């Protein structure tokens, strides 16, 4: 007799008469809350992504319980199993994805809308983990702006659900020991692949089933153990369950985006979850805490909360180049919980009611929902939602968001001095194109990129409360570490680029400059940026490295409106470049006065815009000229292609600093590399 209990939600499917374990729903709450806070960029929850690993263990435990119980009773049916999973997964998933489509159409820019359409299609075919693996890393600078990024974990589970029941049917007849032995072999192979992949192929190890399967199998072992005996409370059960919670909490607060994962590190949340499943029974005080009604309530809606949180956070983040402040984060999370309760009550529960949707009809209904998703995704991939056909040729090549945290792949296999690009999301927008050009020139490149954190040493954000109280300090730590990394790498050149013009003008909610000098808080923002840029370039040249500064380019106001309304089809659209050129000249003069020929500058505005005119084209009628920006602020790939060759030319024209130089004494020979 298989005695293990399942989750309360699954009792609604009508397939079990075993005891409900409320503490498992509490564990679900312990999983979903850190994930939501991690994606909301709450500073303390840098390891909140391990909540997904907790879900994997829970899923493995549940699925094995369901299958083994039915196999032991001789009544297992593949069709029945799949219709149960369809009831559990598909309705809420399809509703959330389809509900996200109109908001994505209204908010996302063309290239990102195309990426979104591809993710809709991949989600409908249970392959989004493969798509996101091929696109970028989970911790990439722009990865958190993908509305359906979180569906990778659902794809892993769905792939597991397809294969695992077939495996169990194949080996069950050999007995429980044979099952355990076969699972042990699979577990060992998967875990070894995870450890190897986390250091050699980190993106593949993170996203793909072969390196994640051991986490679900850990839950399967817990199910088999409890299924072969009554759940007992031992004298140390409470301590072991508490240790399990401690392991999960430690991972949440100690891990961050730099932690090699999954690999060895994933043992902490996975084994912690297994210990809770095994030992946090209702007779233990840990079990009673996890069975606390508010936690159970969050656990019951955890699946819907997981589905809703990423689209909401991603689309809100997309509207700004900065992190969300506490008010915005709170509003997003409250909206997530409200929508989660609604979809749990009005979508999840009704679909699990066999009286309303009996038998295999749920498979037909689920298939219809998946088909609708697939059609939307396919149509959007072929013809992005509502965007005119005349624009389509530009979409595939112009508006690339680079989601790369480190650009070491451009440095693999090439010996000799490297190039480093250091900056915020403006640097990120240049990275892929510049890295490709440098790679073609046999110049390896590394990236030191942090969104909303300009490469300006000695400055502080003046809006810490809006960004989160630790962000300003986090940015300072990043820049300090970046300088230390330069000393370690000893590149020949460092390309400095950030939203310098934006920081010279931007103000916070109190109408104060958004960037300040800690020792001189009343200094005008333009002066702060100039002084800091000079200081940063000097620190780089002190290391014997050539600083290459990419000076400001113009930005396009009302870009989203222009794209959505199709105004560019009627008349050429231009942007005034005078402000950007004025800022660039101011910064160039300060750099020239302080460093002379020691620093190289690249005038981005001169490369993007026609000479001797303030008018800078954005794109032309009929979409014949690709977009130079992808959101009005950050350069598209075509915009980056206007600048990258000149950066490479500037680097090759100045191969290294001389052994000694007098540039800081005031040599005013302005150096500018603006080769066409």
Compute φ and ψ for 191, nearest 5 degrees: -65, -40
Quick one: which of 490, 365, 522, 495 has its CA closest to 421?
495
Q: If DSSP codes are grouped into helix, strand and coil, which group holds residue 345?
A: helix
Question: Alpha-carbon dihedral of residues 667, 669, 670, 671, nearest 10 degrees?
Answer: -100
- In b/e form, how buried is each residue of 588-613, taking b as 16+ CB within 10 angstroms? bebbbbbbbbbbbbbbbbbbbbeeee
Quick one: which of 451, 393, 406 has its CA closest to 432?
406
**Beta-sheet pairing, 515-516 with 445-449:** unpaired
Cα 488 to Cα 472: distance, rounded to the nearest angstrom: 24
Q: Tell me, what's the pLDDT at 442?
A: 83
Whether residue 29 contacts residue 302, with contact meaning beta carbons closer than 8 Å, is answered with yes
Q: Tell me, what's the pLDDT at 390?
A: 27
Q: In the chain, which residues have pLDDT < 70?
A: 1-19, 109-111, 136-142, 229-232, 319-323, 354-360, 383-417, 463-471, 509, 560-561, 563-571, 620-626, 656-676
Q: If DSSP codes are grouped into helix, strand and coil, which group holds residue 546?
A: strand
Quick one: which of 471, 467, 449 has its CA closest to 139?
449
Non-local CB neighbours of 591 within 8 Å, separated by 6+ positions: 533, 534, 537, 549, 599, 601
What is the DSSP secondary-structure string of 606-632? HHHS-TT-SEEEEE-GGG-SPPSBSSS
CA angle 615, 621, 625 (to 5 degrees): 75
Q: Tell me, what's the pLDDT at 148?
A: 96
Q: Tell me, what's the pLDDT at 145?
A: 81
Cα 557 to Cα 538: distance, rounded to the nearest angstrom: 34
Non-local CB neighbours of 286 within 8 Å, separated by 6+ positions: 23, 238, 241, 242, 245, 276, 279, 280
Q: Tell me, what's the pLDDT at 362?
A: 74
Q: How many Cβ atoms from other residues are within 10 Å of residue 466's Cβ?
A: 20
DSSP 8-state assignment for residue 398: S
Residues 173-196: tens digit of each pLDDT: 888 899 999 999 999 999 999 999
Cα 575 to Cα 577: distance, rounded to the nearest angstrom: 6
What is the domain partition of the chain in residue ranges?
Answer: 8-171+215-382, 408-555+575-615+626-665
Q: Tell me, what's the pLDDT at 411?
A: 40
Fold (topology level) of 408-555+575-615+626-665: Rossmann fold (3.40.50)
Non-local CB neighbours of 665 within 8 Å, separated by 6+ positions: 596
Cα 450 to Cα 256: distance, rounded to the nearest angstrom: 14
Helix (H) or strand (E) holding 445: strand 445-449
Quick one: which of 20, 27, 9, 22 has its CA closest to 269?
27
Compute φ and ψ for 310, nearest 5 degrees: -70, -45
Cα 36 to Cα 137: distance, rounded to the nearest angstrom: 18
Quick one: which of 521, 657, 658, 535 has its CA closest to 590?
535
C-alpha 528 chain-centroid distance: 32
Q: Is the dihedral of CA 153, 159, 164, 167 positive or negative?
A: negative
Whether residue 500 contacts residue 529, with contact meaning beta carbons closer than 8 Å, is answered with yes
């Amino acid at each position: 007799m298989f005695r293990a209990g399942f989750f309360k939600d699954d009792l609604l499917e009508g397939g079990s008469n075993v005891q409900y374990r409320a503490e498992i729903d509490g564990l679900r709450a312990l999983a979903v809350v850190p994930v939501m806070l991690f994606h909301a960029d709450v500073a303390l929850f840098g390891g909140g992504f391990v909540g997904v690993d907790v879900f994997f263990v829970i899923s493995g435990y549940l699925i094995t319980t369901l299958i083994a119980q039915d196999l032991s009773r001789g009544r297992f049916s593949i069709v029945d199993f799949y219709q149960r999973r369809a009831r559990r997964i598909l309705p809420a998933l399809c509703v959330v994805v389809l509900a996200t489509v109109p908001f994505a159409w209204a908010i996302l820019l063309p290239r990102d809308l195309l990426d979104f359409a591809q993710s809709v299609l991949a989600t409908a075919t249970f392959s989004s983990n493969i798509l996101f693996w091929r696109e970028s890393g989970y911790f990439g600078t722009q990865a958190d702006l993908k509305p359906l990024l979180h569906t990778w974990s659902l794809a892993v589970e769905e792939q597991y659900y397809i294969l695992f029941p077939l495996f169990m049917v194949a080996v069950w007849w050999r007995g429980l020991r044979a099952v355990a032995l076969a699972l042990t072999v699979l577990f060992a192979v998967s875990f070894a692949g995870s450890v190897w992949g986390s250091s050699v192929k980190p993106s593949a190890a993170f996203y793909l089933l072969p390196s994640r399967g051991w986490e679900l199998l850990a839950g399967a072992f817990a199910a088999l153990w409890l299924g072969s005996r009554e759940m007992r409370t031992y004298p140390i059960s409470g301590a072991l369950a508490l240790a399990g919670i401690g392991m999960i909490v430690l991972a949440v607060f100690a891990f961050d985006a730099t932690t090699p994962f999954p690999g060895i590190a994933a043992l902490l949340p996975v084994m912690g979850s297994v210990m809770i499943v095994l030992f946090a029974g209702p007779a233990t005080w840990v079990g009673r805490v996890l069975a606390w009604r508010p936690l159970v309530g969050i656990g019951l809606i955890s699946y819907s909360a997981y589905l809703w949180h990423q689209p909401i956070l991603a689309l809100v983040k997309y509207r700004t180049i900065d992190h969300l402040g506490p008010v915005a984060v709170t509003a997003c999370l409250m909206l997530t919980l409200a929508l989660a309760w609604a979809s749990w009550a009005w979508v999840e529960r009704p679909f699990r009611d066999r009286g309303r949707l009996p038998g295999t009809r749920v498979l037909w209904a689920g298939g219809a929902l998946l088909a609708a998703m697939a059609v939307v995704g396919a149509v959007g991939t072929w013809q992005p939602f509502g965007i005119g056909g005349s624009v389509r040729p530009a979409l595939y090549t112009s508006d690339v968001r680079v989601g790369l945290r480190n650009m070491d792949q451009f440095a693999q296999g090439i010996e000799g001095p490297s190039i480093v690009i250091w900056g915020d999301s403006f640097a990120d927008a240049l990275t892929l194109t510049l890295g490709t050009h440098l790679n073609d020139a046999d110049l390896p490149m590394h990236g030191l990129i942090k969104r909303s954190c300009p490469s300006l040493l000695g400055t502080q954000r003046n809006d810490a409360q809006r960004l989160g109280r630790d962000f300003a300090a986090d940015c300072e730590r990043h820049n300090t570490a970046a300088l230390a990394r330069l000393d370690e790498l000893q590149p020949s050149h460092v390309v400095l680029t950030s939203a310098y013009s934006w920081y010279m003008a931007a103000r916070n909610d109190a109408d104060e400059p958004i960037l300040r000098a800690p020792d001189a808080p009343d200094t005008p923002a333009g002066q702060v940026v100039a002084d800091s840029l000079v200081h940063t370039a000097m620190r780089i040249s002190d290391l014997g490295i050539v600083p290459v500064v990419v000076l400001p380019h113009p930005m396009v106001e009302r870009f989203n409106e222009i794209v959505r309304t199709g105004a560019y089809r009627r008349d050429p659209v231009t942007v005034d470049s005078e402000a950007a050129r004025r800022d660039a000249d101011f910064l160039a003069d300060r750099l020239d006065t302080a460093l002379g020929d020691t620093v190289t500058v690249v005038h981005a505005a001169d490369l993007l815009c026609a000479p001797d005119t303030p008018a800078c084209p954005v794109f032309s009628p009929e979409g014949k000229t690709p977009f130079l920006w992808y959101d009005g602020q950050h350069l598209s790939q075509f915009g980056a292609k206007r600048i990258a060759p000149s950066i490479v030319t500037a680097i090759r024209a100045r191969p290294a600093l001389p052994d000694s130089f007098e540039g800081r004494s005031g040599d005013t020979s302005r150096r500018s590399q603006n080769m066409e």
